[in-house]
Structure 1
Amino acid sequence: MAITSQPSADGQELTIFIQGRFDFGAHQEFRDAYERVNVTPKRYVVDLQGATYLDSSALGMLLLLRDHAGGERAQIRLIHCSPDVRKILSISNFEQLFHIA
């Protein structure tokens, strides 16, 4: 499991890359990826291309990111979702809370 983050050149957007299992074991690493950065981004991107597994605790972590980013005003995109990950997000009605691409 590896979670990394990369701010855009202007600091307006933060991309968080998920590799491997996205589950409770990734909780602290995921929080650090958006809390311990030297920028205050307006937009967030969670790149799930490398995610091999996603469970209910991962959904909770995405909700914590949403709260951190401003709740209903948050601009968060979930990108590169595999069909299995997209199905989990759809069943959980996350398309109403996040932009899923």
Structure 2
Amino acid sequence: MNIQTSISHDQSLMRMSGRFDFNAHKVFRETYQQLLDNSAVKSLTLDLSQVEYLDSSALGMLLQPKEKADALNKVIRLQNCSQLAKDVLAIANFDKLFDIS
């Protein structure tokens, strides 16, 4: 998986592309931790428009930044979800946990 990041004012963005599975765990964790540890950042948006594959391990990985963000009073959003991502997230009821647009 490839991840590109940007920060604008108090909002950070992670653009993810490729396969979102357990092989992406290390780079995904390092990237979101760096962004959430930035005291200027108040929200983190995960752009899933270029995610080609999403499995159950990815769902578990999405819960990790959510827990960290909640503990820091920060917001996590999922945006531009590919149809595949939308389908997997809906089946897992993640629309009840995340702001998905």
Query: TM-score of the superposition, structure 2-length normalised?
Result: 0.88
**Alignment of 1:59 onto 2:55:** no
Q: How far, CA to CA, are the matches of 1:4 and 1:33 in structure 2? A: 9
Q: How far, CA to CA, are the matches of 1:35 and 1:74 in structure 2? A: 12
Q: CA offsets per residue over residues 24-60 of structure 1, 9 Å max, x none?
A: 0000101111222472321110000110000011111
Q: CA offsets per residue over residues 62-98 of structure 1, 9 Å max, x none?
A: 1001011115x54211111111210110010000000
**Alignment of 1:27 onto 2:15:** no
SS in structure 1 opposite 2:81?
coil
Q: How far, CA to CA, are the matches of 1:28 and 1:49 in structure 2? A: 21
Q: After the TM superposition, list the runs of 4 or more consecutive aligned residues in structure 1 that deviate by more than 2 angstroms.
A: 36-40
Query: Quick one: structure 1 residues 87 and 18, their matched pair in 2 at CA, closer, same or farther if it must change by over 3 Å?
Result: same
Query: TM-score of the superposition, structure 1-length normalised?
Result: 0.88
Identity %: 41
Gaps of 5+ in 1: none
Gaps of 5+ in 2: none
